[in-house]
Amino acid sequence: MEEHYNKSIWGETRDVELTTMSRVFGETTGQDVEAKNLEIRGNWVFHFDPEYPNEIDCYSLEGGVPMCWEPWSSVTFDKSPFKPNNDLIVNETLQELDKIYQRYS
């Protein structure tokens, strides 16, 4: 199975990376976001908001960490990396997001 955890953005371990990403995300969106509610896969950051548990926002990392965080798309919880043992579906989700994003850009 291909591992889709993104290469480190800041040269940190995965846990430190998610903690750093949650701070950057929180500072730019004004939301209080815990690291456990973010996942980085491929060119995407997935954000789980406990207030909307079935709507996972997807943010593109194409071109680096955005200055302004605005979700590109959203997926259901079942298509997200937050659902345990979901790698095959997440791979399909990543391919779909990449395809749609590339058509746009």
Please answer whether residues 43 and 95 qualify as being in contact, where contact means their C-beta atoms are separated by less than 8 angstroms.
no
Contact 44, 59 (CB under 8 A): yes
Give the three-state DSSP class for 92. helix
pTM score over 0.95: no
Task: Kindly tell me the burial class for residue 89, based on how many C-beta atoms sit within 10 Å of its own C-beta (0-12, 13-18, 19 or more).
Answer: middle
Residue with tokens 């259901």: 76
What local confidence, expressed as pLDDT, does residue 68 receive?
A: 83
| Strand order through the sheet with 38-41 | 38-41, 44-47, 55-60, 73-76
- Residue located via tokens 């079935």: 54
- pLDDT, tens only, 43-102: 899 999 999 999 999 999 888 888 888 999 999 999 999 999 999 999 999 999 999 999
Number of CB atoms found within 10 A of residue 95's CB: 11
